[in-house]
Chains A and B, each alone.
Chain A
Amino acid sequence: MNRYYWILGAFAALVALLAIGLKLDPRDVPSPLVGKPAPAFNLNVLATPDKTFGPKDMQGKVWLLNVWSSWCVSCRAEHPVLVEFGKKVDVPLIGLNYKEVRGDGGFDMSKMSAEEEKKLAFERANAWLNQHGDPYKLTVMDLDGRVGIDYGVYGVPETYVIDKAGVIRMKHTGPITPDILSQKILPLLAELNK
């Protein structure tokens, strides 16, 4: 009889292990960038295309970098949360528009010049923000996704919390839900702004 308890116990342990495995999110890959300085970039600003912006401009401030795109469906789901955040919280939110045109998949990039791509990307990004609301202090345009690679972006939307020293303190992959905002991001922002 004793042996059957053993087998039952082993089976229960296996079930528990698999149940934990099922609950884990395979997309939740820990970013090696947490604790490291935010990679530098210098990109054109959506609202003022002749000006550029980089993380160094935010030195001394706690801020959020949110990667989005108009073709990204989850960004649409996330957006109302960001709009609310923009109204209520006094922490600058910077948008990083990721591959607005070439990420869409609907364009033949071999037939599009760099100028055409840039024009279209700015138009599309502006239209999207006009339609859904603009919670961003400003948005920069990463047309070819090169800055995205430096930030280890692999699934838009992604959000980074960056501290006063310019160090990434948190990365969230996937849409921000009200729960994640109130339980993880807001407490961290409060702590960093002390």
Chain B
Amino acid sequence: MNIRALIAIFIFACFFGSTATNASSTTEAALAADPVAEKRLQHLSEELRCLVCQNQTIADSNAELAQDLRHEIRGMIAAGKTDKEIIDFMVVRYGDFVLYRPPVKGITLLLWGGPVALMLLGLVVLVRYLRRRATRIADDRPLSADETSRADALLKENTQK
């Protein structure tokens, strides 16, 4: 068996393993009867961060807290709460950190503006560099008669040695 086949099997195993874990989290969702409510739950929980795993949404995470919060959201949907009320419920308890799309305000200014500011800075640096290079190329005029004779003298000196 060659290495490529081994790698292929490894990759296949990784995919298979990950789909297997996905299946276990969807069984819980399958328990809910109402497909409309379930869709809202899915949508809402994709907007919310699981504070235990931090880089997973409540929809993706299988942590206890994520399960509890999905349960909580389901309860609120059943109670007729709007999406905004449900999101607010989470923010009041866990802060803006729970939102995958944090609101634009003073403290998140760097977060939202940072990438744009960095890109502008990069553009300024690039434009300045290109301008400087353009003038340098423009400076590449032919040698004057004086310079040519000096260069020739230097070259001759070199070959004589």
Contacts and interface: CB of A to CB of B under 8 A. Distances in A.
Interface of B: 51-52, 54, 64-65, 68-69, 72, 91-97
Contacts of B72: 149
Interface of A: 26-27, 29-33, 99, 102-103, 105, 145, 149-152, 154-155
A150 B93 contact: yes
Contacts of A154: 51-52, 65, 94
Contacts of B91: 32
A29 B52 contact: no
B93 A103 contact: no
Contact of A152 (B54, B64, B93, B96): B93
B52 A152 contact: no
A152 B96 CA distance: 12
B50 to A, nearest CB: 8
B95 A155 contact: no
A27 B97 CA distance: 11
Contact of A149 (B68, B96, B97): B68
Contact of A29 (B64, B68, B97): B97
Closest 3 pairs between A and B when the two form their complex, measured CB to CB: A154-B51, A152-B93, A32-B95
A150 B94 CA distance: 9
Contacts of A26: 54
B93 A29 contact: no
